[in-house]
Amino acid sequence: MWAPDIYEGSPTPVTTFLSIAPKISISTNMSRVSIYGSYGATLQQIFFFCSIAFMILGALAAMAQTKVERPLASSSIGHVGYIHTGFSCGTIEGIQSLLIGIFIFASMTIDAFAIVPALRKTRVKYIADLGVLAKTNPILAITFSITMLS
């Protein structure tokens, strides 16, 4: 997958933008189509199974990563699945849950990428280094843990 390489190699503001902007634009356009267009039960099932596939793919891809920034890309893939589950409802409430999910995703992503420069200063590069971070800077470790659990 190319996304973890981009997330790791790009500057933090660029990575944050590349993480959030496409999801917001795609979700907005899909919500406009689902509100103004009529789609049947077949498309609802396709949305549901694609959402489940994104959730599973994101979780499995995150488990294979060893560096700190790379799981953020996999998390982004998984969040797309959670966000787009609202489309499988085919109702206004589903669209509302999608908008709430986008807000939560954007907040979590901005918070995670705000913490990344602090992790770089403490020379935390690998996930295994986070154990040392808990001893040297517990507040940063707790903040990063809460952000990643959201």
Instruction: Give residue 147's pLDDT band: very low, low, confident or very high (50, 70, 90).
Output: confident
> Which DSSP state fits 86?
G
Whole-Å CA distances, 10 to 57, 70, 77, 86, 123? 23, 12, 18, 31, 17
What tokens were used for 114? 């705000």
Does the CA dihedral 77-126-16-5 come out positive or negative? negative
Higher pLDDT, 33 or 79: 79
Amino acid type, 115:
I
Q: Is the pLDDT of residue 75 over 90?
A: no
pLDDT for 149: 84
Q: Compute the average pLDDT of residues 70-91.
A: 84
Q: Has this prediction a pTM greater than 0.85?
A: no
Is 57's pLDDT higher than 90?
yes
- Residue 40 pLDDT grade (very low, low, confident, very high; cuts 50, 70, 90): low
The reported pLDDT for the residue numbered 72 is 84
Amino acid at 138: P
Cα torsion 90, 99, 25, 35 to 10°: value is 30
Residues 66, 127 contacting (CB under 8 angstroms): yes
Task: For residue 27, give Cα distances in angstroms to 30, 69, 112, 116, 145.
Answer: 5, 24, 21, 26, 27
pLDDT per position as a tens digit, 85-131 = 887 787 788 888 888 988 988 998 899 888 888 888 888 888 888 88
